[in-house]
Amino acid sequence: MNVTRSLLDDIKTKQLKCYGHVQRMKEGRLPKKVMKWSPPGRRKRGRPKATWAEGIRGLLGERGLREEDWNDRDKRKKKVTVRWAQEDVETSNNLLNK
């Protein structure tokens, strides 16, 4: 069984694809408005739960992407593809060394 990526990596990739899809939409579209919306008022006491947007910002940092990269498809694909290729090589090396 040749597994090169984990389920978590696939989920992160799908999240980034969804984010990029909405980012490329025109400003007046409802999904883009919903993504930019923040609820009024204050949060409850205690440790705040991480929001989806905060998770996406973390993923962008992990993969070396910026929000501006979503408009330049070639640049984005090159960065994401290189990152995935590096992960595949590392995974293969780890499997060979076992």
Q: Give the pTM.
A: 0.65
What string of pLDDT tens digits covers the 98 residues of the chain? 556 667 888 888 888 888 888 988 899 999 999 988 888 888 888 888 888 888 888 888 888 888 777 777 776 666 655 555 555 556 555 555 65
Residue 19: exposed, middle, or buried by beta-carbon count in 10 A (0-12, 13-18, 19+)?
Answer: buried
Q: Count CA within 13 A, CB hemisphere, residue 24.
A: 11
Domain-wise residue ranges, the chain: 7-38+49-97
**Are 25 and 7 within 8 A, CB to CB?**
no
- Could you give the C-alpha distances from 70 to 11, 55, 79, 97, in angstroms and in order? 18, 17, 11, 37
